[in-house]
Amino acid sequence: MGPGGACWRGGGAGLRRWLSSRAPAPRICVVGSGPAGFYTAQHILKFLATGFLCSTPSCPAFLPEHHDLAQVDIYEKLPVPFGLVRFGVAPDHPEVKNVINTFTHTARSDRCAYYGNVTVGRDVTVGELQQAYHAVVLSYGAEDNRVLGIPGENLSGVYSARAFVGWYNGLPENRDLKPDLSCETALILGHGNVALDIARILLSPLDFLRKTDITDCSLAALACSKVKRVWLAGRRGPLQVAFTIKELREMINLPGTQPVLNPADFTGLENAVKDAPRPRKRLTELMIKTALEKHREKAVMAQAAVPRQWGLKFQRSPQEVLPTADGMRVRGVRMALTRLEGSGDSAKAVPTGDMEELECGLVLSSIGYRSLPLDPAVPFDTQHSIIPNNLGRVMGVPGLYCSGWVKRGPVGVIITTMNDSFDTAQSVLEDLQEGVLDVSVSKEGFGAVGSILRSRGIRPVSFSEWEKIDAAEVARGKAAGKPREKIVDPQEMLQLIGH
């Protein structure tokens, strides 16, 4: 029975043995400071710090309260922490970012340390981390994106959704994206929440964005944007959309915009979802309602000027990005019309042979993030772009674990990642308990890694140094009424803290 069970049996003795014999405290390393990294660290620390295993003093698994227990070190390649919470969550969704307070609390624990500006796989290898720590958890997420693999994909005016989101959220590697927003029609390929986020940012009244933590540079670009029509096209049908109802409703209710949904796309679907699971049913019903309502309204409003429009296009598979006459930029996308084979989540889109050209000057490919291999010492499943694992234990590499998107694929919201990270933490704790992780051998943790980094000229950023950067960003944002003005240049961040 794992941690959190009514009582640890058998293995409790092992745990108590190493605790009472003044065995060295377990040293654990987490790679990645996004939600997965922090939730994994939090769960490990909480279990080992509160005697949560069993609260009955007579039980062999009872842990005395104030015991010198695990040390968890979190490594991050950027100077600043929090991963997608900082760089992925949309600027107009600040409440989602409240979770940063939970992570800050964890980072400030005296049993947790943050080391920013350290690129694992380059500045220090996974092998070196495994030598220095009893357990290493890989939580480095998905820094790349899936590619369309169609001609014209590299034309000017075509961007990955990941890069575009990184751009307006101040991710350093995307700060020079300079997307061209001078066209009227944008086409987003994909039917997920990221696609909706981008549509919303492109069409939001500027006043909505002005007081958010969107970067100044993006705000200026959006102020000059000519984009007034955004299509979201997906290969499959309404029953396969991946976005969720809260985000769809937000888009439907976006002031100054008109949803354009074709009622014909929803024929017979009301019936089809009658017995579907609640989330799919409610989502589909909302689309149907919007399609019918707005269709009627449109007829009534007739010539009323609607400043901005957005719409969903289904069963369209992009085949080629078409160039302008000079061959330099995108002028449209040729799409294959598809039909569905099968139903539900496993339905497949099959080309019918018919084609359609959609005119547009901006294409955003929102077909999924993708993890990359980190280090030759870590097995990687290139087909699914995840680290092969069983319950978070990396296959074939004892002492190595993974959590978050790099473990399960780049899908899910905070709760998904939270549950998943707790799951991996559970595996680590079980392995500590069962002696799979040998904590009788003392490990140096950052004691060893720090020397390695110094010898390579790498100077990590501490959590309190991040808090100086944080304070500077908040101060800069104040004048403009923004929660912060993000610093987008890592060199500037380092200079600010005297590195």
Positions touching another protein (CB under 8 A) are: 4-6, 46, 52, 93, 95-96, 98-99, 101-102, 146, 235-236, 240, 244-246, 249, 277-279, 282-283, 346-349, 368, 384, 386, 390-392, 408-409, 411, 413-416, 418-419, 422-423, 426
Instruction: Give the Cα separation of 133 and 103 in Å (integer).
Output: 22
| Minimum distance from residue 6 beta carbon to another protein (Å) | 6
The CA distance from 45 to 28, in Å, is 10
Residue closer to another protein, measured from CB, 411 or 494? 411
Q: What do you get for the CA distance between the two ends of the chain, in Å?
A: 47
The Cα 155–Cα 123 span in angstroms is 34
292 with 233: CB under 8 angstroms?
no
Residue with Cβ nearer another protein (282 or 334):
282
Our CB check for another protein shows the closer of 281 and 298 to be: 281
**Least separation, in Å, of the C-beta of 346 and another protein?**
7
Q: How far is the CB of 222 from another protein (least distance, A)?
A: 23
**Nearest CA to 158 among 131, 179, 184, 129?**
179
Q: Cα dihedral angle (15, 19, 22, 28), rounded to 10 degrees? A: 80
Per the rule left: phi > 0, alpha: psi between -120 and 50, beta: everything else, 342 is: left
Whose structure tokens read 């084979």? 341
Q: How far is the CB of 95 from another protein (least distance, A)?
A: 4
CA distance 398 to 395: 8
Nearer to another protein, 350 or 448 (CB): 350
Residue given tokens 């002005």 in the structure block: 210
**Shortest spacing between CB 216 and another protein, in angstroms:** 24
DSSP annotation of 80 reads S
The least CB distance from residue 247 to another protein, in Å, is 9
Burial class (CB in 10 A: 0-12, 13-18, 19+), 411: middle
Three-state DSSP class for 329?
A: strand
Q: Least distance to another protein from the beta carbon of 275, Å?
A: 15
146 or 211: whose CB is closer to another protein? Answer: 146
Specify the residue, 221 or 411, whose C-beta has the smaller distance to another protein: 411
- CA–CA distance, 197 with 161 (Å, rounded to integer): 10
Number of Cβ atoms within 10 Å of the Cβ of 386: 19
Taking the complex as a whole, the smallest distance from the CB of residue 383 to another protein amounts, in Å, to 9
- Which lies closer to another protein via its Cβ, residue 148 or residue 227? 148
Please, which residue, 60 or 392, has the CB nearer to another protein? 392
Nearer to another protein, 283 or 378 (CB): 283
Q: Is 27 helix (H, G, I), strand (E, B) or coil?
A: strand
Q: How far is the CB of 88 from another protein (least distance, A)?
A: 14
Tell the smallest beta-carbon distance from residue 105 to another protein (Å). 10
Candidates 368, 369, 311, 359; CA nearest to 157 is 359
Residue 123 or 430 having the CB closest to another protein: 430
- 354-359: which pairs have CB atoms within 8 A and are 24 or more residues apart? 355/319, 356/316, 357/322, 357/332, 357/333, 358/187, 358/231, 358/233, 358/313, 358/316, 358/332, 358/333, 359/185, 359/331, 359/332
